[in-house]
Amino acid sequence: MSILIKNVNVLTQNSRREILRDVDILTEGNRIEKIGKNVRERAEFKIDGRGKLAVPGLVNTHTHIAMTLFRGYADDAVFWEAWPKRVWPREAKLKADDVYWGSLLGCLEMIKSGTTCFADMYFFMDETAGAVKESGIRANLSYGMIDSGDVKKGKKELGVGERFVKDHSNTADGRIQCSFGPHAPYTCSKELLQKTAELAEKYGIPVQIHMSETRKEVFDSIKQHGKRPAEYLESIGFLSERIIAAHCVWLTKRETKILGERGVKVSYNPVSNMKLASGGVAPIPEMMESNVCITFGTDGAVSNNSLNLIETMKVGALLQKAHRWDAEILNAQQALDFATINGARALRTDAGSIEVGKLADVVLLDLKSPNLVPSHNLVSNFVYSANPSNVSDVVINGKLVMERSRILTVDEDKVLEKAEKVAFDLMGR
Ligand SMILES: [Zn+2]
């Protein structure tokens, strides 16, 4: 398929962070073929880009997509009281079909809010892969492994994780890639973590893990290992450039240096951290000082409650400003970098910017919207003013997935109806 977007403004996110006005973008197959004035080539699809802004599709580096089914089900409550009572018993009763519809619901929500690629860790992941395939979005998926210190169970979990990697890597025209997903240092044995790091090296893929989300887990780590989580993972040889560590709220400066030295990627989840009252604020300035590649995640919908990465960019920047009493500490351009090029780098996806030769993951926003006028600063407008209703068209892997706010790949009404039904059914089990 080829697509020609005519007369559009572009936030390129190239190395010079160029903003182009009134240019054409031509995609051929799954790549961006040409960007410039008066592109004359014919294309199968033509989009009138006048009054629109093209941005690279956003990359959400941490979620548990099927948890959309739990949206609004454990709100405004203490995490360690509400989750064991409300979320975990229901999660244990999840069926494959529930995960499929919950995942499709999440895919729709992400596409409609300008996200074209996400990283996921959960179970029944074959179903999530099916939803990704059908919806047209791009994803890096992992089976979430937990052995609670039981080495025998760890071997079994790793078997499931490896099977998933073998079955799904590079499927759906390359839109689905895989990773390993050891849940956290406190739910996985040392053996499982070390073996995972080895296998990730063998397959050349990322590893997703939760790290230092709460103060309790830091205290427990010190009690159990005599080390803080990042120091412990460093000591067992786990940390590398393949690791995507979600949350990283409770880090010392020494730990941020370790992450930087090892090339670890961090998924900053400000909305989830605030909503669950994790207490701290991720030390983003110190991580930037240590050259850590920082990206954005929403976390699952039970702890956010949306999968809206536009909102996450804004909240992520504002939280740092408020916390440090410093309006310059994290600016809109940096937040946009986290959500685009850094996210793509973490997931090893050749996207994250609108440049010739890159994967054609392009989102169009309608600039003729009250919240986006005037256009003094298009980066600020996107990060601080935009919302999902401004997203009009979405191209992923060179295919038109949404046109004029209408999803083309799946029947949206049916997905909403089925997701509502399975969610209610699940809560009654
Ligand atoms: Zn998570």
Pairing of strands 31-36, 45-48: unpaired
CA of 420 to the centre of ligand 1 (A): 23
CA of 151 to the centre of ligand 1 (A): 23
On average, the pLDDT of the chain sits at 97
* pLDDT given for residue 279 in this prediction: 86
379 and 231 within one domain: no
107 and 62 within one domain: yes
CA of 25 to the centre of ligand 1 (A): 36
CA of 185 to the centre of ligand 1 (A): 13
Average pLDDT (5-21) is 98
CA of 63 to the centre of ligand 1 (A): 6
CA of 247 to the centre of ligand 1 (A): 8
CA of 404 to the centre of ligand 1 (A): 32
Q: Is 36 exposed, middle or buried (0-12, 13-18, 19+ CB in 10 A)?
A: exposed
181 and 41 within one domain: no
CA of 212 to the centre of ligand 1 (A): 11
* pLDDT given for residue 82 in this prediction: 86
User: 3-class DSSP state for residue 215?
Assistant: helix
328 and 358 within one domain: no
* pLDDT given for residue 429 in this prediction: 87
Dist CA 142 CA 169 (whole Å)? 10
391 assigned to some structural domain: yes
Dist CA 346 CA 126 (whole Å)? 23
Q: How many CB atoms lie within 10 A of CB 160?
A: 14
* pLDDT given for residue 141 in this prediction: 98
CA of 255 to the centre of ligand 1 (A): 20
45 and 148 within one domain: no
304 assigned to some structural domain: yes
Considering its fold, how many domains does the chain have in total?
A: 2
CA of 143 to the centre of ligand 1 (A): 13
Average pLDDT (217-221) is 97
CA of 140 to the centre of ligand 1 (A): 14
CA of 208 to the centre of ligand 1 (A): 10
Q: For 363, list phi and psi in degrees, rounded to 5.
A: -115, 135
CA of 79 to the centre of ligand 1 (A): 13
pLDDT one-digit tens code per residue, 317-360:
999 999 999 999 999 999 999 999 999 999 999 999 999 999 99
* pLDDT given for residue 79 in this prediction: 84
Q: Note the Cα 347 to chain centre separation in Å.
A: 9
Average pLDDT (79-89) is 88
- Is a pLDDT exceeding 90 seen at residue 80? no
- Is a pLDDT exceeding 90 seen at residue 43? yes
pLDDT one-digit tens code per residue, 98-129:
999 999 999 999 999 999 999 999 999 999 99
* pLDDT given for residue 69 in this prediction: 97
* pLDDT given for residue 81 in this prediction: 87
Residue % of the chain over a pLDDT of 70 = 100
393 and 303 within one domain: no
Band the pLDDT of 163: cuts 50, 70, 90.
Answer: very high
- Is a pLDDT exceeding 90 seen at residue 278? no
CA of 34 to the centre of ligand 1 (A): 38
CA of 184 to the centre of ligand 1 (A): 9
* CATH value at residue 330: 3.20.20.140
CA of 210 to the centre of ligand 1 (A): 6
232 and 201 within one domain: yes
CA of 46 to the centre of ligand 1 (A): 39
CA of 72 to the centre of ligand 1 (A): 16
Dist CA 111 CA 138 (whole Å)? 10
* CATH value at residue 14: 2.30.40.10
* The token pair that represents 189 in the structure block: 């044995």
* pLDDT given for residue 150 in this prediction: 95
400 assigned to some structural domain: yes
Which domain covers residue 382, as residue numbers?
A: 2-56+354-407
* pLDDT given for residue 137 in this prediction: 98
424 assigned to some structural domain: no
CA of 246 to the centre of ligand 1 (A): 7
CA of 62 to the centre of ligand 1 (A): 6
283 and 299 within one domain: yes
CA of 12 to the centre of ligand 1 (A): 30
Low-confidence winner among 54-58, 74-78, 145-149 (lowest mean pLDDT): 74-78
CA of 252 to the centre of ligand 1 (A): 21
Q: Give the residue from 329, 346, 363 where a domain finishes.
A: 346
423 assigned to some structural domain: no
C-alpha radius of gyration, the chain, whole number: 21
100 assigned to some structural domain: yes
CA of 332 to the centre of ligand 1 (A): 25
Residues in contact with 154: Cβ distance below 8 Å, sequence separation at least 6, in sequence order = 145, 147, 188, 189, 191, 192, 195
CA of 309 to the centre of ligand 1 (A): 15
CA of 64 to the centre of ligand 1 (A): 6
Q: Which of 330, 236, 248 is nearest to 285 (CA)?
A: 330
CA of 169 to the centre of ligand 1 (A): 22
115 and 36 within one domain: no
Dist CA 164 CA 167 (whole Å)? 5
CA of 106 to the centre of ligand 1 (A): 15
415 assigned to some structural domain: no
221 and 121 within one domain: yes
CA of 179 to the centre of ligand 1 (A): 15
227 and 293 within one domain: yes
Question: Alpha carbon of 373 to those of 85, 368, 383: distances in Å?
Answer: 46, 7, 14
Q: Please, which residues bridge with residue 10 across strands? A: 20, 54
pLDDT one-digit tens code per residue, 298-325:
999 999 999 999 999 999 999 999 999 9
141 assigned to some structural domain: yes
12 and 128 within one domain: no
